[in-house]
Structure 1
């Protein structure tokens, strides 16, 4: 029977599996490799090279064992890996059954800024959204400088989403994430100088929506609330559209893309020259520029400065104001009716033809002579000369 660990710090919000296992190992004076190979899996099952890919996909037996050792539900442990977010974050981790289908389904099934006719055709083989998780040579994590300074070694949390090129800022402190060496804890910064540029408002809004997606399963946009899966595909589609080669675009979309990059303060296409490249294959500095430009594009659409013509573009605009009728005629309508009636009465007092038309209109649905005479008498009381008005209902019908 699997024994329960007496000490097991709870996983942090959005924490990556390897980060949590490292903290668990530290409690017992072990390192990450020893914990996984000696207590969580049979000897020789996981090769050292696979240990670093546990954030991508962990064996089901390991997830079950961790859940039994800690009491944390298996579903939550699974969510600490990228595989736990299939099919919301990406469609599948498995190889494509149909060549080029993953890219077409995820990126090109819908559009945001462009119409389908405006978007150049493109195929990408063996592609997975937002991956690879890290390079094969070394692992580089993205962490918040404020979090590093304010936590101890055993409480520092590496979040799963920060290891993917999806967010730019820390959801708690709003400052930019900085590349750092792992592999399972903070070791040191990749660059001597941390990027201390303040995050712009549109970037914080974009990252807040991603955080909302991961914590609630939905995202609140100006038009309506959408599913987490729709949000990640919308974001990835915008990135694809703003990185399109300008020479392949018509005049309107080309000018729009140039405006977006100008407002973002970066070179067009993050400085990429020549043929299109997939976002996942770019360096982090280029991915960072693309994420900023994507946030700028959404802000411009929401502000009405550019128009999104794609199938998902309307989600970034607010529902137009519509006057809701409360059932009572508006004062302006009544005022207009009164003015028209007064003018008609004045003309009827002076023109026999107008007087006949007024009486004919008011008695058009009248069937009895008695009702006709009552309406005729009312008009006479309003100073319309009696001789201007037909004397009987039959006379009116004959006119």
Structure 2
């Protein structure tokens, strides 16, 4: 059997382009609909072309596209939502009966501002049909970058269909309704892009770092992309909570965040709903609040106490190892240092030892700032932050 023929025209996809966008550009070159391009030109007689090519198209279709275009399979998979499991999603689709468990794991188990327990505030109503993080709970208008739309060789990014970013990574301007953008281009009207600025711009930069580099350099430390997506979703959940559900510290933090945004608290939300089920204006306000919370925490104007809080706040000081002093004979100091190094080595892989070390170092701390300083020093020694409990988790309710 002869090898499959390479299509004569096969422009490469853009870095974050959606599969449907790239296929539309290919089909346009051959002056045919996308369905015809796939059904009659891939050698797959029984291929059922999915209604939504960006979700999780069949492997046979992607494999045939690899043969026709030379684009690697892993690249094609990353152009679909299914290709972002488990970084961006825990699973796709989310079965109705598993929605609460997925929500608790993805959102509530990743506290940022507050030390809280999973599922303590709200329970998802199955009739709402929560489809998973970042997937809107209603048919939403597609978005586009007005400057990208003016370039016929530029497609649309996969992430633009999610409630995750607000701007174009290339042009740093706000996304707009795709139909309005197309009408502007077709009619030849002037394009007036609106730049995304301030904390919201920083929020999008972090997300695009995650999408392109797989890691995000936050003020406190660098985190994996999967951690960033869950941190951001947990933060969006926290700013949507009623102040009455929080401690005095939590109430003050929420009030300060919302005052800084200029929006009313909770953006006027009276009955809690998951972020994906909010209206456009309320969802935009929640993003403003999340971005503002990140900025306030980085500037030290609020104290975050959640499990992932150390990623937001720069350490109080940079730990610098003093180096070894090799005395001519082994003494008590050497023995103590050897024991300390042994304990550190074990704590890097054993959460129980890490917790014991933290408890020993912070036993004399009287303030939360002093506690966080000692906790940061252990992070600087290579102990995973997940092994180091917060002050509340360690039972230190006496810190001020």
Normalising by structure 2, we get a TM-score of 0.71
Corresponding residue number in structure 1 for 2:308: 312
Contact in 1 for aligned 2:27/2:37 (Cα 8 Å):
yes
1:86 to 2:104 alignment: no
1:234 to 2:235 alignment: no
Per-residue deviation, residues 189-230 of structure 1 (Å, max 9, x unmatched): 7xx999965422211111111111111111111222111100
Q: CA deviation at 1:103?
A: 0.5
Corresponding residue number in structure 2 for 1:180: 178
1:123 to 2:123 alignment: yes
SS in 2 for 1:68: helix
Following superposition of structure 1 onto structure 2, how do residues 1-399 of structure 1 map, counting pairs within 5 Å? 1-40=3-42, 42=44, 45-46=47-48, 50-51=50-51, 53-96=52-95, 98=98, 100-116=100-116, 120-124=120-124, 125=126, 127-132=130-135, 135-136=138-139, 140-149=141-150, 151-152=151-152, 155-181=153-179, 187-188=182-183, 198-273=195-270, 275-322=271-318, 324=320
User: Structure 1 residues 207 and 305 mapped into 2: Cα distance closer, same or farther (>3 Å)?
Assistant: same
**Aligned partners of 1:99 and 1:27: how far apart in 2?**
42
Q: How many residues are matched? A: 315
Per-residue deviation, residues 221-270 of structure 1 (Å, max 9, x unmatched): 12221111000000000000001123333332123212212211222223
User: Structure 1 residues 89 and 193 mapped into 2: Cα distance closer, same or farther (>3 Å)?
Assistant: farther
Q: CA deviation at 1:120?
A: 4.0
Segments of 5+ residues of structure 1 without an aligned counterpart are 329-399
**CA RMSD between the two structures:** 2.9
User: Structure 1 residues 24 and 196 mapped into 2: Cα distance closer, same or farther (>3 Å)?
Assistant: closer
Largest Rg, 1 or 2: 1
Corresponding residue number in structure 1 for 2:333: none
Normalising by structure 1, we get a TM-score of 0.72
Contact in 2 for aligned 1:178/1:195 (Cα 8 Å):
no
Per-residue deviation, residues 109-165 of structure 1 (Å, max 9, x unmatched): 1200011169843222564433436854xx62222222223x12xx12100111111
**Aligned partners of 1:310 and 1:195: how far apart in 2?**
41
**Aligned partners of 1:294 and 1:115: how far apart in 2?**
17
